[in-house]
Amino acid sequence: MTGADQRTPLLDPQAQQQLLAHATGDGPTFRQTLANAGLAEPKRSGLRVLQLNLGKLCNMSCSHCHVDAGPHQGHSQMADAVVDACIAAMERLQPEVVDLTGGAPELHPRFRDLVRAARRQNCHVIDRCNLTVLLLPALADLAAFLAEHQVEIVASLPQPDAQSTDEQRGDGTWEASLRALRRLNQLGYGQGDPNLQLSLMSNPAGTSLQQLTPCDELAWKRRLKELAEVSFDRLIGLNNMPIARFLEQLQRDGHLNCYVALLQRAFNPAALSGLMCRDTLSVAADGRLFDCDFNQMLELPLGNQALAESSRPSIPPTIETITRDQLRERGIHWGNHCFGCTAGQGSSCAGATA
């Protein structure tokens, strides 16, 4: 149920930044693209989603993973002190949504503590689940726990067929994913109950853009029902981001510049308004703060304070100190990877943005 576990170390974030900086060739950078179109750089609109990356430990090693997650990443898990700071921040920041991601966030020993704390604050909780983790013997009661606490599950499933899924995520993933989905359906997920939402997250194969339509969702629902008696509520999509494993694959194959050029040509100004970096705070396992999970992987820190304050020296906030006021109207840290979120119909952890 996993991809290859033995992997050479990835390029460090600074080297990845350099590759992306030069990937546009003679073309404009992301910030230049905004300027050329007469568009102001978007700022934060206030906090809605507190996204916690609990570490890179995962029972899978998917080829498209932008966080380099896998069974070898046990050392990367969020420390107890940071977990406690995140729980305190839920009360201080009052987000609408607490979004738990990884790796496989469920493998963190305090995953359930975070779920309970968020629900006590009346936050909607999202678990970004690879599905196969629900089948681990040590987590046999996990699906029932998620249902008890009305946690929305956003589950990874690249395509509604075995070949594409197994090629991207490892042999046997398709069948294991169906087994997990059936278990969730038995608990009431995917049946239209707003308290037990089951969304599927699709990544396109290779260098294609994600272009899902309502017709695609209907086709997926029909196919999964016919193939496996499986149902779900919503289909969302995410462009493959040129970061980490996918970036190195593009570089090895000589496709990096072509893929970035594809994203550039597909730049859609309408996708800017729904960018997740505008209302999401991404928290790393060590407590550092970022505009989004992608910036976190590239170690591009939280954007600058509002222009009126930017001339004053300040200590970068952490999850222990950040306030809602410090986030409002704050700048965002942009890079060429941002073309991935603004291409075509737009791309975010919540699906299309345009």
Of 76-80, 183-187, 290-294, the range with the highest mean pLDDT is: 183-187
Residue 310's pLDDT is what? Answer: 46
Alpha helices in 47-110 (DSSP H): 80-93
CB-CB neighbours of 217 under 10 Å: 18
Per residue in 253-266, pLDDT (tens digit) is 999 999 999 999 99
Rounded distance, CA 314 to CA 320, Å?
15
Res. 169 pLDDT band, cuts 50 70 90: confident
pLDDT band for position 82 (50/70/90)?
very high
Take residue 177 and report the two structure tokens written for it.
Answer: 């994913």
Whether residue 96 contacts residue 123, with contact meaning beta carbons closer than 8 Å, is answered with: yes
**Arithmetic mean of pLDDT, 257-286:** 94
The pLDDT of residue 66: 61
Q: Does residue 142 contact residue 111 with C-beta atoms inside 8 Å?
A: no
Output the CA torsion 227→233→239→243 (10° steps).
-100
Whole-number pLDDT of residue 26: 86
Torsion of CA 259, 265, 269, 271, to 10 degrees: -40
Query: 179-231: per-residue pLDDT in tens?
Result: 999 999 999 999 999 999 999 998 877 788 888 888 999 999 999 999 999 99
How high is the mean pLDDT of the chain?
89
